[in-house]
Amino acid sequence: MNMKRSSSALVLILLAGTLGTPAFAQDGTAALGTAGEVYLAKVGAYKDLFPKGHDTTPGNTVLAIDLIQPSAAPQRLVVPYTTGADVESSAAVLFEDDSDTLFVVWASQTNALSSVLMLASFDGTSWGPPIQITSNPFSSKTSPQLAITRDSFSTTDSDENTATRHRTIIHVVWEEQTASGNADVLYTPVILEEGTYLGWAPVYNLNDMVGRTPSTSKFAPPDTLVQSPVLQPGRDARTLVVGFASAETRTLSAVEIDVLPEELSLLAADARAHIIDVGRSLYPNYLQVLADKTMADIISRGTAFHDDVIHYIAGQIHDLVLASRGTDPADLTALSEDARAHIIDVGVRLSGRGLRDKNDTATKAMIESTVSVNPATDPTAPSHLIHFRIASNRPAPQMGSTGTQLFLSETGDDALVAWTDTGKILYRLSQDAGWSDQRQIKLSDSLDAAHAYSVLKQKVRNR
């Protein structure tokens, strides 16, 4: 077996608990561990990184991790899946405190035409088997970034025994070159239950989500911005925001990614099954009794939700069943799917604290979608639900090309673009669908560029 392209389960240490703060890669090539140790990713020829090594051919390109500990001599570890003839590049690392695990993602050029992303973990002693992330194998892959969210949920088996299960989602964002020479930003959620990889990682093109229509802007974002997508924490421990620039459409965009609670998926799947099973037993005069029984079943199963929330959801489905005009048992399947979709839709709206999107329009409502990440071939199985929201999509403003950075609010609705000039930082802040006039921060001995960028990042983050 070629271990470089193996897609076995990642070995993780999973701890019991509820939602925590997401872990994010801050500097793609460096990560800080819980004991103050620093992990540095390095790519190079084996003979240069390991002059005395004998694990592979000296000229092979490998990925290494430098481990720098507070009270020990530095170590250099070779990532074992990179010692073959494939060419490694674009490495990023992330240390996740809850599991005390280092995650590494990198691009692997398998031949002159084919490229994949690889993801592996290191628990301080051994490497877990790698996961291969495949999108377009003929496109180069750059700028990978990592984030991790975790949650737990309760399940009940046929004997009414309740168990708590733990879920880890490794979020990977990267950039790929298109056939036209432009750059697209891609995203995949790598989902593990109780440390076991579900076996596939669907890939979503964020540029496709925001659309390909050119904006009214006459200014294409600089390459430095196009090549640097932003992955940051969202409004809570479950949400992430990805910001990116497109030279193709001359826009700056942000997509909010929300990992919906697994209890919502389970509730929706149970309601679907209940409507079909009970409806068939009650046919032909079934609607009123079915509505009442479905409402009661949703309330009894929805113990993970607040009482007023689950009663609201149950009431919505009760009314949906009564409004059905089905006269044939076959209509129950369509009704059950409508009920499942409605429960998920309510959950999505409640996940935003029940508030309307301030940028909400009919067009945006059509763009927003909930995607089922279903690891099973059985379409009736509960899904892992990922919701994508187009938070913003603005024409690119005129800007400089030196040190250009994009900063986002916690929801992605607002943005700030900044760049350097002689003795100052220039920036524009989003205003509705456009941008403010150019503003500046004067640099001095007491205020350098790094501090100015930090101030600007916090300014838009707080909006």
Give residue-wise pLDDT tens across range 304-324: 889 999 999 999 999 999 888
Residue 21, pLDDT score: 59
Whole-angstrom distance, CA of residue 456 vs CA of residue 400: 16
Hey, what amino acid is at 402?
T
Hey, what amino acid is at 266?
L
Q: How confident is the model at residue 329 (pLDDT cuts 50, 70, 90)?
A: low
**Is 80 exceeded by the pLDDT of residue 433?**
yes
* Least reliable range by pLDDT among 41-50, 105-114, 209-218, 454-463: 105-114
**Is 60 exceeded by the pLDDT of residue 381?**
no
Tokens coding 53: 């090594």
Count of CB atoms situated within 10 Å of the CB of 11: 18
Please give the full DSSP string across 267-326, using - where no structure is assigned. HHHHHHHHHHHHHHHH-SS-HHHHHHHHHHHHHHH-TTS-HHHHHHHHHHHHHHHHH---
Residue 3, pLDDT score: 37
Residue 238, pLDDT score: 87
**Is 70 exceeded by the pLDDT of residue 212?**
yes
Residue where the block lists tokens 């309510």 = 346
Whole-angstrom distance, CA of residue 170 vs CA of residue 162: 26
Whole-angstrom distance, CA of residue 412 vs CA of residue 390: 9
Residue 373, pLDDT score: 63
Count of CB atoms situated within 10 Å of the CB of 41: 23
Whole-angstrom distance, CA of residue 290 vs CA of residue 305: 22
Residue 368, pLDDT score: 45
* Least reliable range by pLDDT among 48-52, 307-311, 366-370: 366-370
**Is 60 exceeded by the pLDDT of residue 7?**
no
DSSP label at residue 250: T
Give the SS3 label for residue 339: helix
CB 232 within 8 A of CB 25: no
CB 19 within 8 A of CB 26: no
CA 231 to each of CA 255, 379, 391, 418: distance values in angstroms, whole numbers, following the listed order: 10, 32, 14, 17
Q: How confident is the model at residue 362 (pLDDT cuts 50, 70, 90)?
A: very low
Residue 20, pLDDT score: 52
**Is 70 exceeded by the pLDDT of residue 378?**
no
Residue 455, pLDDT score: 96
Residue 13, pLDDT score: 24
Whole-angstrom distance, CA of residue 20 vs CA of residue 280: 43
User: Mean per-residue pLDDT for 224-252?
Assistant: 94
Instruction: Report the percentage of the chain scoring pLDDT > 90.
Output: 53
**Is 90 exceeded by the pLDDT of residue 444?**
yes
Pairing verdict, β 384-395 and 369-373: antiparallel
Residue 313, pLDDT score: 92
User: Mean per-residue pLDDT for 196-214?
Assistant: 89
Count of CB atoms situated within 10 Å of the CB of 94: 24
User: Mean per-residue pLDDT for 148-153?
Assistant: 88
CB 189 within 8 A of CB 386: yes
Q: How confident is the model at residue 365 (pLDDT cuts 50, 70, 90)?
A: very low
User: Mean per-residue pLDDT for 140-169?
Assistant: 85
CB 418 within 8 A of CB 453: yes
Cis peptide before 284 (omega within 30 of 0): yes
Q: How confident is the model at residue 138 (pLDDT cuts 50, 70, 90)?
A: confident
Whole-angstrom distance, CA of residue 275 vs CA of residue 339: 9
Residue where the block lists tokens 């006039």 = 437
How is the beta sheet containing 230-233 ordered, strand by strand?
A: 230-233, 239-246, 251-259, 384-395, 369-373
Round the CA-based radius of gyration of the chain to a whole number and report it: 25
Chain-centroid distance, C-alpha 422: 37
Q: How confident is the model at residue 325 (pLDDT cuts 50, 70, 90)?
A: low
* Least reliable range by pLDDT among 203-217, 343-357, 388-402: 343-357
Q: What b/e readout covers 169-184, taking b as 16+ CB neighbours within 10 angstroms?
A: bbbbbbbbbeeeeebb
* Per-chain mean pLDDT for the chain: 85
CA angle (437 as vertex; 240, 206 as ends), nearest 5: 25
Residue 283, pLDDT score: 67
Nearest to 38 by CA among 82, 94, 83, 81: 94
Residue 130, pLDDT score: 92
Please indicate whether residue 352 or residue 143 has the higher confidence score (pLDDT).
Answer: 143
Residue 59, pLDDT score: 93
Tokens coding 152: 């737990």
Largest Cα–Cα distance in the chain? Answer: 82
Residue 374, pLDDT score: 56
Residue 198, pLDDT score: 78
User: Mean per-residue pLDDT for 72-95?
Assistant: 92
Phi first, then psi: what are they for 222, rounded to 5°? -65, 155
Sign of CA dihedral 433, 438, 444, 448: positive
Q: Exposed, middle or buried: residue 146 (CB in 10 Å: 0-12, 13-18, 19+)? A: buried
Residue where the block lists tokens 């990179």 = 82
How is the beta sheet containing 61-68 ordered, strand by strand?
A: 30-32, 38-45, 61-68, 75-78
Whole-angstrom distance, CA of residue 63 vs CA of residue 78: 6
